[in-house]
């Protein structure tokens, strides 16, 4: 059971600066939601990735309020859109990789200058992690702060596969699919029900599901240009925008995924709350 906590007690955006100063006497942990603003088909708003990462952060902050009192930083609402044709849909924004890394670095250093020593990225957009990881590497080296990346698209994988199997869906995550639709619905996204049924029949088009080889554990691929078959699928006249079948979405499914996502993050927060992190050398440089 999540204890009801007023938003003014967990969101930096709701605090006046003296209140932030007082809160720093109780905690040095901040959750930093990072998402993206881009098309999510006919049935979901373009803010889905931000809704999800912020919602996950809120659940974690409320669950750990009594033990660690973490606060939630303002959400970074822009990321990197790695599928070029997505950029032709109205509503899609994208930052250049160098810009995105610098945004993550600058926001992180702003939080560190306030007094936060432990920054937990809560990622809600699939292509963001390489840029988050580079920013974390650079800022950790410069400041001595503690960083962690919690990726919505990895943490609940086991539970997601159970759900997809139960629903007789393809085993791969999609875009504005059953999982994203269900989770964002829990967090208040408006689902246009009349736009769901029949939009992406059969889930992943076979041609698209085979355009990249499966990566065994421990192997990752560099960024790649989506092949012509994908460009044709998303770029053709009348393309709905998603990849995956949202039919059957529900808040019950969303709650299962959310529970599987927040459990390890809650444990992380409680494990590090008393950990000593030294940023004094960096802070002293700022005063010179």
Q: How far is residue 108's CA from residue 140's CA, in Å, rounded to a whole number?
A: 10
pLDDT in tens, 102-118: 999 999 999 999 999 99
CA proximity to 28, closest of 281, 286, 280, 274 = 274
Q: What pLDDT sits at residue 122?
A: 97
Q: Phi/psi zone of residue 193: left (φ > 0), alpha (ψ -120 to 50 degrees), beta?
A: alpha
Structure tokens at 56: 């996950």
CA distances from 114 to 72, 106, 108, 118, 172 (A): 13, 12, 10, 12, 41
Q: Give strand ranges (E) for 52-176.
A: 71-72, 118-123, 146-151
Q: What pLDDT sits at residue 215?
A: 53
pLDDT along the chain (288 residues), means of 10: 73 96 97 96 94 98 96 97 77 94 98 98 94 97 97 93 88 82 97 73 49 55 52 57 82 97 97 97 89
pLDDT in tens, 50-78: 999 999 999 999 999 999 999 999 999 99
Sign of the CA dihedral with 186 first, then 51, 108, and 154 last: positive
Site of tokens 């605090």: 15
- The answer to whether 145 and 279 are in contact (CB under 8 A) is yes
Q: Give strand ranges (E) for the chain.
A: 29-34, 71-72, 118-123, 146-151
Q: How far is residue 219's CA from residue 236's CA, in Å, rounded to a whole number?
A: 33
Q: What pLDDT sits at residue 201?
A: 42
| Secondary structure class of 34 (helix, strand, coil) | strand
pTM of structure: 0.89
Q: What pLDDT sits at residue 83?
A: 73
Q: What pLDDT sits at residue 224?
A: 47
- The answer to whether 105 and 95 are in contact (CB under 8 A) is no
């Amino acid at each position: 059971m999540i204890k009801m906590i007023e938003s003014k007690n967990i969101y930096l955006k709701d605090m006046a600066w003296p209140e932030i100063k007082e809160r720093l006497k109780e905690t040095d942990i901040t959750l930093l939601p990072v998402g993206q603003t881009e098309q999510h088909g006919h049935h979901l708003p373009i803010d889905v990735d931000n809704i999800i990462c912020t919602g996950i952060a809120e659940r974690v902050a409320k669950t750990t309020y009594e033990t660690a009192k973490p606060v939630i930083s303002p959400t970074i609402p822009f990321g990197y859109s790695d599928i070029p044709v997505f950029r032709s849909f109205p509503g899609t924004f994208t930052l250049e990789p160098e810009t995105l890394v610098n945004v993550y670095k600058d926001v992180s250093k702003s939080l560190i200058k306030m007094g936060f020593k432990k920054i937990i990225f809560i990622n809600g957009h699939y292509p963001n992690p390489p840029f988050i990881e580079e920013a974390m590497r650079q800022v950790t080296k410069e400041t001595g702060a503690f960083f962690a990346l919690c990726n919505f698209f990895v943490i609940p994988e086991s539970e997601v596969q159970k759900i997809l199997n139960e629903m007789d869906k393809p085993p791969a995550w999609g875009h504005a699919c059953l999982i994203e639709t269900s989770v964002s619905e829990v967090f208040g996204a408006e689902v246009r029900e009349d736009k769901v049924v029949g939009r992406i029949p059969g889930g992943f088009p076979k041609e698209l599901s085979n355009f990249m080889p499966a990566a065994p554990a421990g192997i990752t691929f560099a960024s790649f240009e989506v092949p012509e078959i994908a460009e044709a699928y998303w770029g053709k006249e009348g393309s709905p925008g998603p990849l995956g079948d949202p039919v059957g979405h529900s808040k019950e499914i969303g709650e299962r995924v959310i529970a599987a996502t927040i459990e390890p993050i809650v444990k992380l927060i409680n494990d590090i709350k008393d950990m000593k992190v030294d940023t004094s050398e960096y802070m002293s440089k700022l005063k010179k």
